[in-house]
Amino acid sequence: MLAIIGGSGLTQLANLDVSRREVVRTPFGDPSGALTFGSIGGQSVVFLARHGYGHTIPPHLVNYRANIWALIKEAKASRIVSVASVGSIRRDLTPGSLVIPHQILDYTWGRSSTFFEGGANQVVHVDFTHPYDEALRAELLRAAEAMGEPISEGAVYATTQGPRLETAAEVDRLERDGADIVGMTGMPEAVLARELEVPYAALCVVANWGAGRADSSDGIHFESIEAILQAAMSRTRRVISALCSD
């Protein structure tokens, strides 16, 4: 079972042949919405819209633990692909680009970011040297190549708290820290999948230049983000269908 978590711009998967929807509860509360089960090219897929199907849950209020728990423990997902829109910090990653990040910086705070809460259980420190699953990253890259979709391999993904966008000085700092792209949902999602030992990789869509990075430099405009996301998400769907026909 392949799980796909859709972010902004991907609240449904048009190429998913839906068989059923299931509302599940978890020991950590409710996931962002019902799990949508179906298939793409014969591959069983479970889809979940990270921000809810009406896009009503902001990044800092997403119940990441419930989402990951539901996909792995209820839907029995054996790998998870996260689709997420990001801002770009690196010059060559122009809006509309697809990127497979290889590293993470975490600036989030106050999010429940572990399944291991101590109590009667042993403290667990998972290895997170390489936050994304290499084999799944490679598969995503091959899928994009098979579809002739240009895709960038490797980027450092900075996760900010949101829901506001960054200041220009914050984006400068992220660059000094080594970040290439910035989004609000990469963490704790990735580490929660790691804690449950399920391969996880992200397919990021560059929606905009990071704050202060556009040549016009007069702010970030939501209408243009929307148009770029729409176009890039249809390319994302093509990559996902190639991944499913592997």
Report phi then psi at 193, rounded to 5: -65, -40
Residue 131 CB, nearest distance to ligand HPA (Å)?
18
Confirm whether residue 167 is marked as ligand binding: no
108 near ligand HPA, rule: CB under 6 A: no
Q: Which of 43, 50, 35, 56 is nearest to 15 (CA)?
A: 43
Confirm whether residue 184 is marked as ligand binding: yes
Q: What single-letter DSSP state applies at residue 61? A: G
166 near ligand HPA, rule: CB under 6 A: yes
Contact with ligand HPA (CB under 6 A): which of 35, 207, 239, 244? 207
Mask for 173-202, x = binds ligand HPA (CB under 6 A) = ---------xxx------------------
85 near ligand HPA, rule: CB under 6 A: yes
Confirm whether residue 44 is marked as ligand binding: no
DSSP letter string over 173-211?
A: HHHHHT-SEEESSHHHHHHHHHHTT--EEEEEEEEEEPT
Q: Give the angle 190-98-227 at the CA atoms, nearest 5°.
A: 110
144 near ligand HPA, rule: CB under 6 A: no
Confirm whether residue 164 is marked as ligand binding: no
Helix (H) or strand (E) holding 64: helix 64-69
β pairing state of 79-88 and 181-183: antiparallel
Confirm whether residue 50 is marked as ligand binding: yes
97 near ligand HPA, rule: CB under 6 A: no
156 near ligand HPA, rule: CB under 6 A: no
C-alpha–C-alpha distance, residues 11 and 228, integer Å: 15
Select 38 or 212, whichever has its Cβ closest to ligand HPA: 212
Amino acid at 206: V
Residue number closest to ligand HPA, CB atom: 87
Q: Which residues bind ligand HPA (CB under 6 A)?
A: 85-87, 160, 165-166, 182-184, 207-208, 210
